[in-house]
Amino acid sequence: MAAANQANTSHASLSGETGNSASDPLPSWRAGASKQAILGFVGQVTAEGGPDTVPPEDRVAVFDNDGTLWCEKPMPIQLDFILRRLVAMAEHDPALRTRQPWQAAYTKDYGWLNGVITKHYHGDDSEVGVLASGVLTAFAGVTVEEFEIRADQFLRTTRHPTLGRSYLACGYAPMVELLGFLEANGFDNYIASGGGRDFMRPISQQMYGIPRERVIGSSVSLVWKDGTLVHKAEVDVLDDGPEKPVRIWSRVGRRPILAVGNTNGDIPMLQFTEQPDRPSLRMLVLHDDPAREFDYVTGAEQALELAGINGWTVVSIKDDWATVF
């Protein structure tokens, strides 16, 4: 999916327009509180000489990826990529078929896999280590170049299991528009995801207009071997929960003024965005549209509760997006 139109928009239109006219910078967003929050905030921080103007170098926006920029159900896209590799390993070595997570991958026991993820979002990581052992083993010894080729090919050739579209076409059109609108107004956009950094990098520019060097995500440890970098079977960073603000600061060196997520794992990132001396916009994507996408709040209950308490903007896919993909 190409990046959104990035033509500059006048501050006058930012302050009040919520319709879908020809000059609308967010045509896939329906008129309403969410759209007005975006337009009002951007107008506020970019108004020349205004009391809340934020200089361009500090206009940092961070976005979760799974469930925020692209579809994450019935399973995260990267998990599908990994499961196919685990199945191939189990086909080669039958002894793996009775060990998790190879057993779940080989028998298509997605209930077990989703249960591990759901427990994680509720603070229970008792089975994350089991899943992680398979994930880390799956690509141990693979060079960074080979991994990127595999990820890129997978995303370009594999179709979503229920939506009938390629994974590369599973990005949310309203979010792509938002990214383009922010860039046109002097923002630097970053992905800050629990997903794999090197899995997202091959397509971040094409899908979102975000260059690969602005992709912050989970990663495995690497080792220099025979003239290249090779994946090790150990975690470097799991970029989720409290780790997100740490990684954002380590990479960017600035607090963001805008953050968008969709789960409990994004709470620290959203909290990190609040500053006493600057305006901020914190948004949660609510998946409530079973007709066009999916309907679920599992793993986001705490985030939604905090949104109500702290005045974060909850973006309803059903009500706020005229177009989803």
DSSP-derived secondary structure for 106-144: HHT-HHHHHHHHHHHHTT--TTHHHHHHHHHHHTTT-BH
Mean pLDDT of 237-252: 97
Q: Is the pLDDT of residue 5 over 50?
A: no
pTM for the full predicted model: 0.89
Domain assignment present for residue 153? The answer is no
Q: Are residues 57 and 21 in the same domain?
A: yes
Q: Are residues 200 and 298 in the same domain?
A: yes
> Residue 122: which domain range?
77-138
Reported as a single tens digit per residue, the pLDDT across 272-303 is 999 999 999 999 999 999 999 999 999 999 99
Give Cα separations from 88 to 32, 82, 130, 137 (angstroms). 48, 10, 18, 13
Is the Cβ–Cβ distance between 199 and 151 less than 8 Å? Answer: yes
What is the rounded average pLDDT for all residues in the chain? 92
Domain assignment present for residue 272? The answer is yes
Angle at 272 between CA 269 and CA 274, to 5 degrees: 125
- CATH code of residue 28: 3.40.50.1000
Q: Are residues 22 and 123 in the same domain?
A: no
Mean pLDDT of 24-43: 98
Say how far apart CA 65 and CA 69 lie, in whole Å. 5
Domain assignment present for residue 262? The answer is yes
Is the Cβ–Cβ distance between 300 and 284 less than 8 Å? Answer: yes
pLDDT band at 124; cut points 50, 70, 90: confident
Percent of the chain with pLDDT over 70: 93
